[in-house]
Chain A
Amino acid sequence: MYKSTGFISFVLRRFTGLVLVGYLFVHIWVIGSATRGAEAFNAQMEALETPVTLILEILLLAAVVYHGFDGIRLLIVHYFDVTDSRKSLFYAAFAISALLTIAGGIPILLFALGLTV
């Protein structure tokens, strides 16, 4: 493995991407409970509000946010010549992802612990 920030970005982007593909199909299936009526949907939503799944949701948020911002970084790389700032762009994407995960994760955590409705 040839270690570099480019390599880390590549591996994380691929990994989060595959996780999200898996999640996408599960999500479509779960929300599809609505085709069986409101009660079925509500029952499904109740079943999913365990502390474990809510913690997993924070990880999901991290995956979505990282994949999205690394993707935006890629779009910038594709349309502009950013050779000189390639490492700073990677760190920026990573930092924004971390910040948003924390910003979004705290309300989820509070909800999981029953401290908010």
Chain B
Amino acid sequence: MRIFQMQRISAIALVAFMAIHMVVVHYPPGHLDFSRVLVRLGQPVWKVIDIAFLFAVLMHALTGAYDVMMDVERVTPYKRVFAGLAIVAGIVAFVYGTMTIIAFQPSPEMLAAF
């Protein structure tokens, strides 16, 4: 029940987050460099939104992948192993992803240019 609920809640959140992400980052498609991303991600509110997005997408991806694996009868005896791997992968990805989001700060050279 909990996994189903986590999947559904993260799915609903992702409908919103993905729509925002596609419009704000990828439209119109073009060359993406650090300074272009910095315009948006330099702002604290966008950092918070992106961290929440990262959390929702990891929750949905990992509960989804776990669910797909558990559909196959031969795999179900190993459910604890898969759950463990999923949780570890999720934590590592979340930490690394958050560090990346935070890394979008103006560099000393950019600040000096002002």
Do A and B come into direct contact in the complex, CB within 8 Å?
yes
Q: Which residues of A contact B (CB under 8 A)?
A: 14, 17-18, 20-21, 24-25, 28-29, 31-32, 34-35, 37-38, 41-42, 45, 49, 57, 64, 68, 71-72, 74-75, 78, 104, 107-108, 111, 116-117
9 pairs, CB–CB < 8 Å, chain A vs chain B: A17-B65, A24-B57, A31-B97, A57-B29, A68-B14, A72-B15, A74-B11, A116-B30, A117-B31
Mostly, the B contact residues are helix
A29 to B95, CA, bound (A): 12
- A20 contacts across to B, CB distance below 8 A: 61
**Quick one: which of B12, B68, B100 contacts A75, CB cutoff 8 A?**
B12
A37 pairs with B30, CB closer than 8 A: no
Q: Are A34's CB and B65's CB within 8 A?
A: no
* Candidates B54, B97, B107; contact of A38 at CB < 8 Å: B107
**Complex contacts, B8 vs chain A, CB 8 Å:** 75, 78
Give the contacts of B26-63 with A (CB-CB under 8 A): 28-35, 37, 54, 57-58, 61-62
The answer to whether B34 touches A34, judged by C-beta atoms less than 8 angstroms apart, is yes
Interface size on B, residues (CB 8 A): 34
In the complex, which residues of chain B have a beta carbon less than 8 angstroms from the beta carbon of A29?
Answer: 96
**B residues apposed to A, CB below 8 Å:** 8, 11-12, 14-15, 18, 22, 28-35, 37, 54, 57-58, 61-62, 64-65, 68, 89, 93, 96-97, 99-100, 103-104, 107, 110
